[in-house]
């Protein structure tokens, strides 16, 4: 009775066992078709798995390339990024966007310039010696003029000339003249002379004179500021006795005026 029962149990389990065997065989066949063949040294290390490189070719971790199956999908490539030049954004302000402002052009500043009027009458000696006071060896020079008119010569024995000019205290003026000596060694003065109410000379308040000691015609100038105490102002030329002659031309006194 027990043997019959065992036989019936075996007959009931036989279909289940057959199903298991068939399923295992199918699974093994599918695995053989899908998975690539190993090199015979497969030890289950995941480091032997294929890795696809950036160019779509499979490579092993050691760097060797491996062929992909024929039915593998084509590799995808990533387009290179194109750099787009950007400009710095404008600076925001409370009212919106502040645009770059144009560069400001500096405004020229006004300042004093020389007046056109020459306060020295007949300073170019175009009218001879008219208006000039003369002492010593002084007179007109022949062929020594600078700009076509006459010039004044003071000889080696020495001499002096002057002319009164109308200037005002507290204003600024420029004295300028052209001059030369005939030979080196002598020096000649062109300057401004102040006199007080009593006719006395105010030498300590006078500006330093122009000095000429060059044989080439030279232009020099100074600024001066008449004091309140100067009642009479004169422009003068003086040469002491020496070995050279002196020629002077284009004597001028002009006021600095403001343009502002």
At 36-94, the pLDDT tens digits run: 444 444 444 444 434 344 444 444 444 444 444 445 555 444 445 455 555 555 555 44
Q: What is the pLDDT of residue 124?
A: 93
Residues 139 and 253 in one domain: yes
pLDDT above 70: percentage of residues in the chain: 58
Residues 21 and 139 in one domain: no
Instruction: Please check whether residue 46 lies inside any domain of the structure.
Output: no
* pTM (two decimals): 0.58
Instruction: Please check whether residue 22 lies inside any domain of the structure.
Output: yes
Distance, CA of 62 to CA of 46 (rounded, Å): 13
At 12-48, the pLDDT tens digits run: 666 666 777 667 766 666 655 544 444 444 444 444 4
Q: What is the pLDDT of residue 15?
A: 65
Give the mean model confidence (pLDDT) for residues 93-103. 51
Distance, CA of 42 to CA of 60 (rounded, Å): 14
> Which residues make Cβ contacts (< 8 Å) with residue 107, sequence separation at least 6?
none
Instruction: Please check whether residue 92 lies inside any domain of the structure.
Output: no
Residues 131 and 237 in one domain: yes
Total structural domains within the chain: 2
Instruction: Please check whether residue 84 lies inside any domain of the structure.
Output: no
Q: What is the pLDDT of residue 56?
A: 42
pLDDT band, very low/low/confident/very high, at 225 (cuts 50, 70, 90): very high
Domain that includes residue 184, residue range:
114-258
DSSP code for 97? E
Residues 127 and 219 in one domain: yes
Distance, CA of 174 to CA of 80 (rounded, Å): 77
Instruction: Please check whether residue 77 lies inside any domain of the structure.
Output: no
Give the mean model confidence (pLDDT) for residues 131-157. 89
Q: Indicate the range of 64-73, 119-128, 132-141, 165-174 predicted with least confidence.
A: 64-73
pLDDT band, very low/low/confident/very high, at 106 (cuts 50, 70, 90): low
At 202-217, the pLDDT tens digits run: 999 999 999 999 999 9
Residues 20 and 122 in one domain: no
CATH (domain of 246):
2.60.120.260
Residues 5 and 124 in one domain: no
At 189-199, the pLDDT tens digits run: 999 999 999 99
Q: Residue 230's closest CA among 256, 260, 193?
A: 193
């Amino acid at each position: 009775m027990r043997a019959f029962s065992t036989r019936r149990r075996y007959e009931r389990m036989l279909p289940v066992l057959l199903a298991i065997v068939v399923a295992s065989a199918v699974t093994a066949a599918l695995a053989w078709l899908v998975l690539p063949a190993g090199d015979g040294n497969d030890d289950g290390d995941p480091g032997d798995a294929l890795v696809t490189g950036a160019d779509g070719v499979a490579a092993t971790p050691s760097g060797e390339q491996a062929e992909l199956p024929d039915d593998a999908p084509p590799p995808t490539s990533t387009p290179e990024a194109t750099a787009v030049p950007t400009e710095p954004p404008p600076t925001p302000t409370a009212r919106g966007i502040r645009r770059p402002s144009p560069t400001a052009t500096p405004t020229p500043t006004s300042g004093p310039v020389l007046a056109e009027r020459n306060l020295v009458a007949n300073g170019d000696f175009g009218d001879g010696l008219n208006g000039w006071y003369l002492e010593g060896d002084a007179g007109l020079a022949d062929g020594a003029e600078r700009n076509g008119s006459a010039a004044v010569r003071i000889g080696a024995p020495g001499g002096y000339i002057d002319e009164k000019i109308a200037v005002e205290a507290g204003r600024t003026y420029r004295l300028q003249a052209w001059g030369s000596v005939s030979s080196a060694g002598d020096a000649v003065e062109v300057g401004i002379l102040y006199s007080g109410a009593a006719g006395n000379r105010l030498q300590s308040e006078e500006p330093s004179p122009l000095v000429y000691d060059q044989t080439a015609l030279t232009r020099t100038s100074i600024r001066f500021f008449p004091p309140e105490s100067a009642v009479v102002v004169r422009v003068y030329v003086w040469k002491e006795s020496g070995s050279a002659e002196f020629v002077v031309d284009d004597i001028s006194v002009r006021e600095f005026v403001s343009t502002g």
